[in-house]
Amino acid sequence: MSKITIVCVEDEPDVLDAVIRELEPLEDVFVIEAAENAKEARHLLEQIQERGDETAVLFCDHIMPGENGVDLLVDLQKDERWQDVRKVLLTGQAGLEATVKAVNQAELAYYIAKPWEGDELMQIAKREVSQYLVAKDLNPMPYLKHVNMEIVQDLVRKHLSADR
């Protein structure tokens, strides 16, 4: 069975560590992968696809050495392989212009302002992964532990096995 992956792109190692630590509890049903810049991120996405897994959510920083986060997201949106990936901007520094660009051209799913609060990151991850399951009409049963129940409610019904 293909695994559902959550990818985090962030150039500062401390922040990346914090993000990964925050999302760690999800790892019993999802795979969490990290990249330090846009180039690595593209490579990682390719790899995930090659091994037959799916990228469901991409958390992305904006200001990074090389290509910035918003440009990466906009570019990924043009490639039909990554169009359905739920794209989340996780940044303190994206200006209005860049943010608008991300919303309009990369169908940004969510904007999290750093520093995030409490379990915000976790809630957004669950929410977005649930939206992905719904959009792709995937069987939510294996992931019920870490999804947003309200979002997947109808999906659960649809994929239910019958009484036996």
Partner 1 sequence: MTLPVKKILGLVLGLGSLVLLPFCGFDGLSPAGHITLGIFVFAAIFWITEPIPIYVTSLSVIFFQILLLSDQSLFLESLIRLSGGEYAAPKYQDFYGTLAHPILILFLGGFSLAKAAEKHALDRNLTRILLKPFGTSPVRVALGVMLVTGILSAFMSNTATTAMMMTVALPIVAKVPASDPFRRLVGLSIPVGANIGGIATPIGTPPNAVAIAALAKHGTMVPFSTWMMIATPLVLSALFVSWLGMCKMFKPELERFELNIEGTFSTSPKAIGCYIIFACTVGLWVTEKLHGIPSAVVAFLPMVMLPALGILDKQDIRSHAWEVLWLVAGGISLGISLKNTGLAEWMIGQVSFEAFPPFMLVLLFALIGFAVGNLISHTVSATILVPIAIAMLAPDVGAGPAATIIPIAVIGIIVSFAMILPISTPPNAIALSTGLIESKDLAKVGWLVGIVGITLTLLFGLFIWPILL
Residues that bind partner 1 (CB under 8 A): 141-142, 144-146, 148-150, 152-153, 156-158, 160-164
Contact 44, 35 (CB under 8 A): yes
Pick between residue 115 and residue 161 the one whose CB is nearest to partner 1: 161
| Total Cβ atoms within 10 A of residue 115 | 9
Q: Which of 135/144 has CB closer to partner 1? A: 144
Q: How far is the CB of 149 from partner 1 (least distance, A)?
A: 5
Nearer to partner 1 (CB atom), residue 105 or residue 153: 153
The CB-of-147 to partner 1 minimum distance in angstroms stands at: 9
**Minimum CB distance to partner 1 smaller for 1 or for 96:** 1
In whole angstroms, what is the distance from residue 86 CA to residue 3 CA? 16
Q: What's the closest the beta carbon of residue 133 comes to partner 1, in angstroms?
A: 13
CB of 23 to partner 1, least distance (A): 16
What's the order of all strands across the beta sheet hosting 86-91? 31-35, 4-9, 54-60, 86-91, 110-113
Which residue spans within 28-109 are E strands per DSSP?
A: 31-35, 54-60, 86-91
